[in-house]
Amino acid sequence: MGRLIKDTGNVLAWVNGHDHVNRILARPAAGEGGTWWEITTASHIDWPQQARIVEVAADEAGGLFIACTTLDHHGLVDPRAGALADPLTLAGWSRELSANPWQPGAEDGAADRNVILA
């Protein structure tokens, strides 16, 4: 996929998901030596159960930039404190249980979460 995107020359980002990590990689673009971004967001079924907002905007000079913000859901930190019929309790249990089958080597860094890419 990366080669197809690189050869196009007019791609700003490829946003994908259903992986086990949050990751942002700068990729070389065809032509004038630019960059396109590969933005991967973790799946919601297992740890870390985060979502990502991806915004594309123009700066004062007319160039484009991408702002990425990572979000956690509002589930209870300690689900044992809530009622099982409460959606926040269920979300807390989901987060708790998602950490059980942790994927070795699937750690991501702070630079892969909240960032502005230019």
pLDDT tens string 61-79: 988 999 999 988 889 989 9
> What is the rounded CA–CA span in Å between residue 118 and residue 26?
10
Tell me: pLDDT of 85 over 80.
Answer: yes
Cβ neighbours for 15, distance < 8 A, ≥ 6 positions apart:
39, 41, 54
pLDDT digits (tens, 9 = 90+) for 7-18: 776 788 999 987
pLDDT of residue 117: 86
Q: Is the peptide bond before 48 cis (omega within 30 degrees of 0)?
A: yes
- Write down the pTM of the prediction: 0.73
Find the angle CA(92)-CA(93)-CA(96) to the nearest 5 degrees.
90
Nearest partner of 25 among 47, 40, 4, judged by Cα = 40
